[in-house]
Chains A and B, each alone.
Chain A
Amino acid sequence: MGLREVLTPFTVWKHVFDDPVTIKQPIGRPAAERYRGFHQNDLDTCIGCGTCEAICQNGAIDMVAVAGYDPEKGNSGLKPQIDYGRCCWCALCVDVCMTGSLTMSNEYTWVDTDPDAFRFVPGLEEPWKDDEEGYEREGKRVLSGIERIHMEEMEPEARIGNFDEIVAGYSRAEAILEADRCVECGLCVATCPAHMSIPDYIAAVRDQDYDRGLQLLYETNPFSEVCGRVCTHKCEGSCAALHEGDPIAIRWLKRHIIDEVPFDRRIELIGQPAEPTGRKVAIIGAGPAGLTAAFDLARAGHGVVVYEALAHAGGMMRYGIPEYRLPYDALDRDIGVIEAMGVEIRTNCRVGRDVTMDELRRDHDAVVLTIGLHMGRSTRVPGTEGAGVEKAVDLLRRITDGEKVPLAEQIVVIGGGNVAMDIARSMARLQKAEFGKVGITLTALEDIDHFLADPEEVVESREEGVKIFDARGPQEVMRDAEGKVTGLRTWRVKSIFDAEGRFAPAYDQSDERVHAGSMVIEAIGQAADTSLLGAALTEALEWNRGRIKIDTAFRTSEPWLFAAGDAVKGPDVISAVADGHRVARTVMEKLAAREVAQ
């Protein structure tokens, strides 16, 4: 040990002259940009999906109701309340947040003498809701998958020549991957008219438990095979996953469950109906509303007879939706399950012709009217009277029945809804088969961003060669000297509704166009054919703007008559299914009440 080792340590005395390195007061020192401080939440962006609550390993987050934020479509109205006695600042809630509304401030410290102050709703109460932002996740959320699993479908060239179903359905592996993306927030359940237990049946797909999945489907929807293909899937429009990516393919997953369960197994899983009650209910119209009500009533043990005017059951599902979207055998399977519950369907039996309303009333304890909208409306512009102008619903019905329908090499379709797309694409297929090429022009009042048809319908129509002219108002069906249709004259639409919101299209007459074609098809809406009621009943019933008036429980003004479905409410299959359940419940309540009275 030398002298050097005794003296060297003293050289560090040089630090005496250094500035102090410690900070007297750390509060107020700016934190790093990414610092994970107390939470901030953009309450207007937050949809209350509760994913933050689900991922929190400390149970620090509770979803609570907040004044001024009410539930609405795709938004539960709840907001996360965070208990900082439990929070560990891991920010998994920020990473998993479906909308990116949840972030963190870069506040280092917070001193308060009131312990309750440390439990609050970020974005609502605390001073740093406006502070500089701290941690926010890099890019979009990565913890729950943002890309939808693509479903195989036929190429336009392959599908245009026939009515084969376009989409292929998921394989098991694909379905599991897609089901995996669901965060089980349940916003879809609130949006679905029938309130199907969507997260639960998606979980069944993940678990590969198709029996459980099927039972869950049938709890709320006897038309799951139909809805798995053609549902308007409003649920997907409220899906939390929509905000930073694609919504969960809820419709396709529903279809996948059905695809995986054989028909016989379906009936086995649903089980036998209750013991017969001896009560009888007549249902007029074998569409989704009528058959759903029939299913529920039959399950409860009531005798149900469904009267259907057309040759096959299914209503608009069969006669309105083309086969390439909904194959008839798929529909037949759904109806087959309902029949297996003991429902009797009398087809080719038109009420008013083959049986009267009075007879139905006499022979049954209740009558349910679910007649749908089978009469096409007309634009009534000059030239629509006479040959060469058809209505879409009539044509679709005839195509289903296998009839030969009028056809032309160049057809003009009026309308921008799903029915317009259905007829345009159906006629395109017939043209391709007959003439080898497609010649369809579609004109609609709405501009392309506000089309009533589903976006995928617009895309697929175009792929199949349908030419779409948006914001065009029909003025006249042009005819030559012999009265043959030569085209449709349109003006550009400036606005569709007036200041009061009434339907009153305004046109720019200088922008005129003639769409050539030797056939015009109107697809602008449908009406119910209520002639079956007869004059006396029509007079006795209360009406509401041309529709039979019903209350919230689907009772008409006549105590024995109930009505549901498109004819009174609309607008789609799943709504009709929901109405069917509701009207069945009302009928059952009435039957039970009578039971007590007797």
Chain B
Amino acid sequence: MFSFKPDRSQYPAPGPDGKLQIDLETGKYLKLWQGPNHPGITGNMSVELTVCGDEVVEGKTHVGYLHRGFEKLMERRTFIQVFPIVCRVCVPEPDFNEYCYAAAVEDLAGIEAPEYAQWMRTLILEMGRFNSYMMFLGGIGGALGLGITGQWMTYVRDLMLDRFEELTGARIYHMFILPGGVRGHLPEGFEGRMEEVLDTAERYLADIDRVMFSNSVFKTRTKGVGVIDPALFEPYGVTGPNARAGGVAKDLRKDSPYLVYDQLDFEVATATDSDIFARATVRRADVQTSIDLIRQILKKMPKTGPAMAKIPNVLHWKIPRGETYIKGECSRGEYGYYLVTDGTGYPRRINVRGPSYTHAMALLEHLIPGTNISDVAALMVSLHTYPPEIER
């Protein structure tokens, strides 16, 4: 009914530089900018599409709308002053930046965060992952015209933001994971209120299952569309749910456990088809994993204990010469901070490895040709990319 069979033979062959030799004067092709302000784009970036009819012949990604030079800004700030800005590298899931930066500093400064802080960090990261997936589930429905999922998931995400607010003091940029530990303990009665949120979330997720994953329109438009050949995973640096949807059961929480993940019980969700639908189902399963993990953490984590390790006076904190790479599994794949110190009070170099960098640019450009113009938005959302983290 909705089948779309692209026929590459009708277009000129790519030139030696890999680009199509297209003459726009012929009137056969049209240049179309999807973004930077467009409901079918994830965040502030744009895709320059060359279309022929409703078939996309070529897509070129344009980023830079959100470039704020964070990595350079960090080099001009003391180690503690970097802390408030790292979260801004990725708006929807800021906590991973806080964790990676804090862990990198601790690694080079020879500090170990207390056990309570380790559990708290894990809790924060899972709450952040949950919220990130709320945005995905809302977004993927929205990209296909199913607006209600966006409204529901925004509501559920907002409930989780309430929990973030009472725990960390902020809704979006939590600034809670300090080098050395975390800034506080669980407020009283937090577990009960969190359970209410998780219950509500599960009810709405059940509705998502009915309205989206059991929806014939959704299935038809996503199954077999935007397939990533597993052979591309390695050359294109594909990690996280995008790879797991293609049968690669890789998850840093399992493969190289950090924080307290080795004390938690969970399975890594995978799928085989590597299409938009598979990627969505992997993420749907991941949300449930996060919900279960939050419950487990609240049950298992120590009730008391220091939240912060003893750290030097932050006003003139110097860290010995060294380099380290701290990585973790965020909702989109491997997230990492590469920190180089030179013995002064400032980082010599910080490099942020965000999964969106590969997924939203090289991979997307590779996947776009041959798709239907109406599927570009869904394809893009299915890769679950966040432009702020591409550009830093």
Contacts and interface: CB of A to CB of B under 8 A. Distances in A.
Contact of B175 (A31, A90, A134): A90
Interface stretch (B3-11, B80-88, B233-241, B363-371): B80-88
A9 B208 CA distance: 9
Given A35-B165, A57-B84, A89-B170, A15 B312 contact: no
Interface string B296-320: 0000000000011011111110000
Contacts of A143: 80, 311, 313-315
A507 B77 CA distance: 63
A134 to B, nearest CB: 7
Contacts of A203: 316
Nearest to B167: A34
Interface in B160-185: 162, 165-170, 173, 175, 180, 183-185
A55 B169 CA distance: 19
A96 B314 contact: yes
Interface string A45-58: 00000010011010
B155 A55 contact: no
A469 B85 CA distance: 59
Contact of B185 (A89, A138, A145): A138
B87 to A, nearest CB: 9
B315 A8 contact: no
Most chain B C-beta atoms within 10 Å of own C-beta, residue among A8, A96, A142: A142
B196 interface: no
A12 B168 contact: no
Contact of A135 (B77, B169, B214, B215): B169
Contact of A55 (B165, B310, B315): B315
A91 interface: yes
B21 interface: no
B315 A9 contact: no
Most chain A C-beta atoms within 10 Å of own C-beta, residue among B78, B169, B219: B169
A92 interface: yes
A571 B170 CA distance: 53
A37 to B, nearest CB: 9
Interface stretch (A180-188, A302-310, A395-403, A479-487): A180-188
A404 interface: no
A9 B215 contact: yes
Interface in A65-94: 88-92
Interface in A232-288: none
Given A6-B216, A9-B210, A35-B165, A55 B80 contact: yes
A462 to B, nearest CB: 32
A5 B166 contact: no
B83 A92 contact: yes
Interface in A173-194: 180-184
Nearest to A95: B183
A94 to B, nearest CB: 10
Most chain A C-beta atoms within 10 Å of own C-beta, residue among B82, B84, B173, B215: B84
Contacts of A34: 165-169, 184, 187
A138 B84 contact: no
B80 A92 contact: yes
B275 to A, nearest CB: 16
B256 interface: no
Contacts of A134: 169
Given A8-B214, A90-B175, A180 B207 contact: no
A183 B216 CA distance: 65
Nearest to A138: B184
A34 B187 CA distance: 9
B272 interface: no
Interface string A308-333: 00000000000000000000000000
Contacts of B312: 145, 180
B219 A55 contact: no
A51 B310 CA distance: 19
Interface in A96-137: 96, 104, 134-135, 137
B238 to A, nearest CB: 29
Nearest to B208: A12
A5 B212 CA distance: 10
B63 interface: no
Contacts of A180: 312-313, 316
Contacts of B80: 55, 92, 143
Given A5-B219, A135-B169, A11 B210 contact: yes
B264 interface: no
B216 A5 contact: yes
A32 to B, nearest CB: 4
B148 interface: yes
Contacts of A8: 210-211, 214-215
Contacts of B307: 138
B220 interface: yes
A32 B169 contact: yes
B155 A12 contact: no
A144 B313 CA distance: 4
Contacts of A182: 313
B315 A144 contact: yes
A181 B314 CA distance: 9
Contacts of B313: 143-145, 180-183
B362 to A, nearest CB: 33
Contact of A51 (B78, B183, B315): B315
Given A8-B214, A55-B314, A31 B170 contact: no
A206 B316 contact: yes
B188 to A, nearest CB: 10
A36 interface: yes
Contacts of B210: 8-9, 11-12
A88 B207 contact: no
Interface pairs A-B: 9 shortest CB-CB: A90-B84, A57-B81, A32-B166, A5-B216, A34-B169, A138-B184, A144-B313, A36-B169, A32-B165
Interface of B: 77-78, 80-85, 148, 155, 162, 165-170, 173, 175, 180, 183-185, 187, 207, 210-212, 214-216, 219-220, 307-308, 310-316
Given A2-B216, A92-B84, 8 more contacts: A5-B214, A9-B210, A9-B212, A22-B155, A54-B315, A57-B82, A143-B80, A144-B313
28 contacts: A2-B216, A4-B214, A5-B214, A5-B216, A5-B219, A8-B210, A8-B214, A9-B212, A11-B210, A12-B211, A15-B207, A21-B155, A33-B166, A34-B166, A35-B165, A55-B81, A55-B314, A88-B85, A89-B175, A92-B80, A92-B83, A96-B314, A137-B183, A142-B180, A143-B80, A143-B315, A180-B316, A184-B316
